[in-house]
Amino acid sequence: QVQLVESGGGLVQAGGSLRLSCAASGRTFSRYTMGWFRQALGKEREFVSAISGGTIRHSDSVKGRFTISRDNAKNTVYLQMNSLKPEDTAVYYCAAIPQLLFGVLPTALHDYTDWGQGTQVTVSS
């Protein structure tokens, strides 16, 4: 089982930036597929971004504004969020699949086996 701890959330004005971090346990982090999801109040949890090896996928709603990256030496995955909008307000969750994947990365919640506790991001207008 992979332990995941998110950090970096907070309050930011519209148009601003935040960088989320997710620290993972495990000695084979480089072979994990890592994802970011978010859940706004009263809404279902939705896919944001994923990375596996050199393969990246972003949802259409964040494409061009958010960037996912990873540092395997630090067992950490990042989500750089720029040009933030009030509709980006949500709890952001880090998730993992302990497997390297290729091609189109999964976006469904049930594909991810391990989850962090989440970090709140609030974007004010």
> How long is the chain?
125
Residues forming beta bridges with residue 58, ordered by sequence position? 49
At residue 26, the pLDDT reads 80
Strand ranges for 25-102 from DSSP E:
33-39, 46-52, 55-58, 66-71, 76-81, 90-97
Q: What is the pLDDT of residues 27-47, one digit of tens each?
A: 899 999 999 999 999 999 999
Mean pLDDT to the nearest integer, 56-61: 97
Tell me: the pLDDT tens digits for 95-107? 999 999 999 999 9
Report yes or no: 89 and 123 within 8 Å, Cβ to Cβ: yes
The per-residue pLDDT for 11 is: 98
Q: State mean pLDDT over 55-83.
A: 97
